Amino acid sequence: MIKPPFITTQASRMTILLVGMALFVSLLIGYSSATLDPELSIQITILLMLLFPAFVMALIDSRRLIPYILLVWVICPEIRRIQDWMEGTYHSVSLLSIAPLLTSAVVIIPVISKLHQMDSRINKALIYLAIVLLYGSLYGIAKNGSGALYDLANYFIPILLIPYAALSKFDSKALDRLLIALSDTAILIAVYGIIQYVMVPPWDAFWMNHVEMTSIGKPLPLEIRVFSTLNSPGPAGTYLASALAPMILDKRWRGSLGWLGVILVTVGLLITLVRSAWVMLFIDIVIYTAVSAGRQKWKLIAQLTAVIGAMYVIIPKLPGAQGLVDRLGTMTAIQDDHSYNERLDFFHTVFPMLFAKPLGLGLGSIGVGTKLSNGGALGEYGIFDNGFVAVFLTFGILGGLLFFWALWVVTRFLLSQKNETDGLNLYSKIALSALLGSIICLVFENGYTGLKGFLLWMVVGVGIMAHQTIVQERRQVSDAATSQLENSPHKASIRLH
C-alpha cells in the first residue's frame, strides 16, 4: 500500500503536529475557563497564549524565537498589572510571573538532541553550574520549601541560553538581528517609560498603591521612578543599559530608529534613576573599548562623547529635570548618598554571615522567591543589594567559588577566540564586556537570575555563537583546501616538494 505523499513530507507532519497542539491548547483553555476560578482561568489563558508561539518557534527552530522571548519578558509584567487593574484586585503572587520563565525554557527544544556535540569547555562550565544549582536546590527545598524551586528556575532557565548558543548556527546577519531585537524592545520600554513619567497610566498607579515598594516614588506625573512595562526600576534600568551599550558601540545594533533610538533609550534610562545601570553601561563600554584595536578605540570614544554631549543638552530640558540632576549628582558625591550608606551598612551586617553559615542558606532564601514561603510577602532577605554576598550566602563558600570558576571558564572560552581566529571579533567583545561587567556589578546586585540573567546570557550567547561559527567556517575552508589539494593533478609533484 502506497502512503499518500502529504503524509510522508516533513512539512505536512509538522503542520499536523501544530494543528494538534493548537487544538490541545484550545481545549485546555476551554476546560480551565469552565471549571476553574475566573481569575485563575484568565491567568492560565494568558499564560498559554504567550507560551504557545514560543513552543511552535522552538519546534521549527525559528530565528525569531529569542526576539519573541525578549518581547514576552518586556510585556508580561504590564499585562499582569492591567489584568489586576481590570479585576480591581492586586495579586501578590500570579501565574503570569512565571510566563517569561516558561517561555524562555523552550530554547532547549531545538538543541536537546545535539547536547552530545557540545564543546568540551562549554560543557565543563555547565557541569560546574549544574553542581552548584543542584546543591543549592536540594538544600533550599529542605530549608525554604517551594521558594527554592522558583529560585532554581530563575537561575537555571536563563543558563539554557548557553547550550542553545553553543549548538545553534547563526551567521553575522542573524546575530545582528538578535542585538537589534534587544535594541528595539529597549526602545519600546523607553517610550512607554517616558509616557509613564509624564502621565502615570491608571493600571500602573493601581499597582504602585498596592505593591508596598517605597523606592519607586509616588504614582504622580514627574514624581515616579520609572519602571515602564517591567516590575521595578531596577530591571528596567538593567534592560535599557544592556541594550544601550551595543547601540552606542556599533551602528548596526542601533535598531529601527538609529541615533533617535539611542537618545530615547538614554532618556528612558535617566528617568529610571538607577545609578547601578549607568555604572554597568560605563563598565561594558570601557571593557569593549579596552579590547578593541587602536583606530576603533578613538571612534568609540568619539561616539561616547557624542552621547554625553546629547545628555548634557537634553537633561536640563526634561520635565522634572532638577530631580534627575540631583540624582546624577550623587554619583560624584557618593559618600553623602543615603542609599549608598544603607548598602554599605547592609554589607557590613550580612558579610559576617558568610563565615557563620559556610554551607549557605540554599535557593529560595534570597529575593522574590521568599514570597512563596512567607505568605506572599518578601522574607528577611527579599531585598538584597549585594550580588557577591547573595551568591555565597545562597550556595555556601565552596558553591560560590565553583559558581565563579564556571564564569571564568566561559570567559576563557570567549578569550580563546583571540588565538584561534587572529583577534576578537565585535560579537565576542560585546559578550566579554557583558560577562566581565556582570561580575564587577555584583557589588550592587545579583545579575544572574530572571530577566537580568536572561539578558546577560543572551549577549554572552551571541559571542559563543560567533566563536562557533567562525571556527566552523575556518574548518570548512581548511577541509575544502585539503580536498582540492588531494584531487589536484599535480598532487604527486606537490607531495614530493
Segments of 68-200 assigned E as strands: none
The residue whose grid cell reads 507560551 is 51
**What pLDDT shows up at residue 29?**
47
**What pLDDT shows up at residue 458?**
95
Give the model confidence (pLDDT) of 268-322 as tens digits.
Answer: 998 888 888 888 888 888 888 887 766 666 677 777 777 777 666 766 666 655 5
Give the model confidence (pLDDT) of 226-253 as tens digits.
Answer: 999 998 898 999 999 999 999 988 888 9
Q: String of b and e for 376-390 (b: at least 16 CB within 10 Å)?
A: eebbebeebbbbbbb
pLDDT of residue 26 exceeding 60, the answer is no
Give the model confidence (pLDDT) of 444-454 as tens digits.
Answer: 788 898 999 99
Dihedral-angle region of residue 404 (phi above 0 means left; psi in -120 to 50 means alpha; beta otherwise)? alpha
Q: What is the DSSP string of 341-356?
A: HHHHHHHHHHTTHHHH
Mark out the alpha helices in 351-449 (DSSP H runs).
Answer: 353-356, 387-415, 417-420, 426-440
272 against 487, higher pLDDT: 272
pLDDT of residue 443 exceeding 70, the answer is yes
User: Three-class SS of residue 224?
Assistant: strand
The pTM (predicted TM-score) of the whole model is 0.83
pLDDT of residue 264 exceeding 90, the answer is yes
416 against 112, higher pLDDT: 112
User: Three-class SS of residue 74?
Assistant: helix
pLDDT band of 66, cuts 50, 70, 90: very high
Give the model confidence (pLDDT) of 154-205 as tens digits.
Answer: 999 999 999 999 998 888 889 999 999 999 999 999 999 999 998 999 999 9
Maximum mean pLDDT: which of 190-194, 216-220, 278-282, 342-346: 190-194
Instruction: Lowest mean pLDDT of 53-57, 289-293, 363-367, 471-475, name the range.
Output: 471-475
d(CA 187, CA 306): 19
